[in-house]
Amino acid sequence: MGQASWSVKDNTNENTSFQVPMADLTAANIDAQYALVTAMQTALGGVCLGNLIRQNVQAKSSPLMVPAPASDLDAQREAKAMVIYADNTTFETAKCEVPCIDLTDQLPGHPGYFYDVNYSGDEDATWTAFVSAFEDIVVGPGGNAVTVVRIYHIGKAT
Protein backbone atom coordinates (compact mmCIF):
# COMPACT_ATOMS: atom_id res chain seq x y z
CA MET A 1 0.00 0.00 0.00
CA GLY A 2 1.33 3.44 -0.90
CA GLN A 3 1.26 6.55 1.27
CA ALA A 4 0.98 10.28 0.75
CA SER A 5 2.04 12.73 3.43
CA TRP A 6 2.40 16.46 3.88
CA SER A 7 4.61 18.37 6.32
CA VAL A 8 3.09 21.46 7.92
CA LYS A 9 4.78 24.37 9.72
CA ASP A 10 2.70 26.16 12.36
CA ASN A 11 2.90 29.76 13.58
CA THR A 12 5.53 28.95 16.21
CA ASN A 13 7.88 27.40 13.60
CA GLU A 14 7.12 23.82 14.72
CA ASN A 15 6.58 21.05 12.18
CA THR A 16 3.89 18.40 12.10
CA SER A 17 2.53 16.09 9.44
CA PHE A 18 -0.58 14.58 7.87
CA GLN A 19 -0.45 11.21 6.14
CA VAL A 20 -2.90 8.91 4.42
CA PRO A 21 -2.66 5.44 2.86
CA MET A 22 -3.23 5.24 -0.88
CA ALA A 23 -2.96 2.78 -3.75
CA ASP A 24 0.53 1.68 -4.77
CA LEU A 25 1.97 3.70 -7.63
CA THR A 26 2.35 1.80 -10.87
CA ALA A 27 3.19 2.84 -14.41
CA ALA A 28 -0.50 2.46 -15.24
CA ASN A 29 -1.87 4.67 -12.45
CA ILE A 30 0.85 7.19 -11.60
CA ASP A 31 -0.75 10.15 -13.39
CA ALA A 32 -4.17 9.48 -11.87
CA GLN A 33 -2.70 8.99 -8.38
CA TYR A 34 -0.70 12.22 -8.58
CA ALA A 35 -3.86 14.05 -9.66
CA LEU A 36 -5.56 12.70 -6.52
CA VAL A 37 -2.57 13.77 -4.39
CA THR A 38 -2.80 17.28 -5.86
CA ALA A 39 -6.55 17.43 -5.14
CA MET A 40 -5.95 16.23 -1.56
CA GLN A 41 -3.24 18.87 -1.10
CA THR A 42 -5.59 21.60 -2.33
CA ALA A 43 -8.34 20.39 0.02
CA LEU A 44 -5.88 20.15 2.93
CA GLY A 45 -4.82 23.74 2.24
CA GLY A 46 -8.46 24.75 2.63
CA VAL A 47 -8.81 23.36 6.17
CA CYS A 48 -5.25 23.76 7.49
CA LEU A 49 -4.03 27.15 8.74
CA GLY A 50 -0.36 26.11 8.74
CA ASN A 51 2.03 26.29 5.80
CA LEU A 52 2.25 23.10 3.72
CA ILE A 53 6.01 22.77 3.26
CA ARG A 54 6.63 19.28 1.88
CA GLN A 55 4.70 16.56 0.09
CA ASN A 56 5.83 12.93 0.08
CA VAL A 57 4.38 10.21 -2.11
CA GLN A 58 5.91 6.83 -1.36
CA ALA A 59 9.66 7.42 -1.81
CA LYS A 60 9.45 10.75 -3.65
CA SER A 61 9.72 14.03 -1.75
CA SER A 62 8.63 17.36 -3.23
CA PRO A 63 9.25 20.63 -1.37
CA LEU A 64 6.20 22.92 -1.57
CA MET A 65 7.70 26.16 -0.26
CA VAL A 66 10.46 27.66 1.84
CA PRO A 67 9.82 26.30 5.36
CA ALA A 68 8.78 29.52 7.08
CA PRO A 69 6.35 29.78 10.01
CA ALA A 70 2.68 30.23 9.12
CA SER A 71 1.54 33.86 9.34
CA ASP A 72 -1.85 33.03 10.91
CA LEU A 73 -1.49 33.21 14.70
CA ASP A 74 -4.07 30.42 15.09
CA ALA A 75 -1.96 27.99 13.01
CA GLN A 76 -0.92 25.74 15.89
CA ARG A 77 0.24 22.14 15.31
CA GLU A 78 -1.63 21.09 18.47
CA ALA A 79 -4.99 22.24 17.01
CA LYS A 80 -5.94 19.01 15.24
CA ALA A 81 -8.90 17.29 13.69
CA MET A 82 -9.39 13.53 13.97
CA VAL A 83 -10.65 11.94 10.75
CA ILE A 84 -12.50 8.65 11.29
CA TYR A 85 -13.06 6.67 8.10
CA ALA A 86 -14.27 3.20 7.17
CA ASP A 87 -13.26 0.72 4.49
CA ASN A 88 -16.27 0.43 2.15
CA THR A 89 -15.89 -3.36 1.77
CA THR A 90 -14.60 -4.66 5.10
CA PHE A 91 -16.16 -1.83 7.17
CA GLU A 92 -12.97 -1.73 9.25
CA THR A 93 -12.38 1.76 10.62
CA ALA A 94 -9.17 3.76 10.71
CA LYS A 95 -8.18 7.28 11.70
CA CYS A 96 -5.67 10.02 11.03
CA GLU A 97 -5.04 13.52 12.36
CA VAL A 98 -5.00 16.81 10.42
CA PRO A 99 -2.79 19.49 12.05
CA CYS A 100 -3.16 23.29 12.26
CA ILE A 101 -6.91 23.25 11.56
CA ASP A 102 -9.15 26.29 11.43
CA LEU A 103 -11.36 25.91 14.51
CA THR A 104 -13.94 28.38 13.16
CA ASP A 105 -15.28 25.94 10.55
CA GLN A 106 -17.32 23.73 12.91
CA LEU A 107 -20.78 22.36 12.13
CA PRO A 108 -23.54 24.75 13.24
CA GLY A 109 -25.04 23.50 16.50
CA HIS A 110 -22.40 20.74 16.83
CA PRO A 111 -19.41 22.23 18.68
CA GLY A 112 -16.17 20.40 18.04
CA TYR A 113 -17.38 18.68 14.86
CA PHE A 114 -16.33 19.62 11.34
CA TYR A 115 -18.04 16.79 9.44
CA ASP A 116 -20.41 13.92 10.22
CA VAL A 117 -21.78 11.52 7.62
CA ASN A 118 -25.18 11.63 9.37
CA TYR A 119 -25.37 15.45 9.49
CA SER A 120 -27.53 17.27 7.00
CA GLY A 121 -27.29 21.01 7.14
CA ASP A 122 -24.94 23.87 6.41
CA GLU A 123 -21.62 22.10 6.09
CA ASP A 124 -18.50 24.18 5.57
CA ALA A 125 -17.41 24.08 1.91
CA THR A 126 -13.74 23.63 2.79
CA TRP A 127 -14.46 20.52 4.87
CA THR A 128 -16.79 19.16 2.18
CA ALA A 129 -13.96 19.57 -0.36
CA PHE A 130 -11.53 17.93 2.08
CA VAL A 131 -13.85 14.92 2.55
CA SER A 132 -14.28 14.54 -1.21
CA ALA A 133 -10.53 14.65 -1.87
CA PHE A 134 -9.84 12.34 1.10
CA GLU A 135 -12.31 9.72 -0.11
CA ASP A 136 -10.86 9.90 -3.63
CA ILE A 137 -7.27 9.18 -2.60
CA VAL A 138 -7.35 7.17 0.65
CA VAL A 139 -7.63 3.40 0.75
CA GLY A 140 -8.92 1.60 3.83
CA PRO A 141 -7.19 -1.06 5.91
CA GLY A 142 -8.44 -3.68 3.43
CA GLY A 143 -7.11 -1.72 0.45
CA ASN A 144 -10.58 -0.58 -0.65
CA ALA A 145 -12.27 2.79 -1.13
CA VAL A 146 -13.33 4.58 2.06
CA THR A 147 -16.11 6.74 3.48
CA VAL A 148 -15.36 9.48 5.99
CA VAL A 149 -17.59 8.92 9.01
CA ARG A 150 -16.77 12.03 11.04
CA ILE A 151 -14.17 14.70 11.64
CA TYR A 152 -13.87 16.32 15.05
CA HIS A 153 -11.53 18.58 17.03
CA ILE A 154 -8.84 17.07 19.22
CA GLY A 155 -5.85 18.65 20.87
CA LYS A 156 -5.28 22.24 21.86
CA ALA A 157 -8.14 24.74 21.58
CA THR A 158 -6.32 27.84 20.33
State how many domains the chain has: 1
Q: What is the pTM of this model?
A: 0.79
Q: How far apart, in whole angstroms, are the C-alpha atoms of residue 116 and residue 97?
A: 16
Question: Does residue 30 contact residue 38 with C-beta atoms inside 8 Å?
Answer: no
Question: What does the pLDDT look like over 62-107, one tens digit per residue?
Answer: 667 777 899 999 999 999 999 999 999 999 999 999 999 999 989 9
What's the one-letter identity of residue 44? L
Range of the domain at 115: 1-158
Alpha helical stretches, state H, 21-86:
30-47
Q: Is the pLDDT of residue 156 over 70?
A: no
Question: What does the pLDDT look like over 68-78, one tens digit per residue?
Answer: 899 999 999 99
Sheet holding 60-63, edge to edge: 15-22, 2-9, 51-57, 60-63
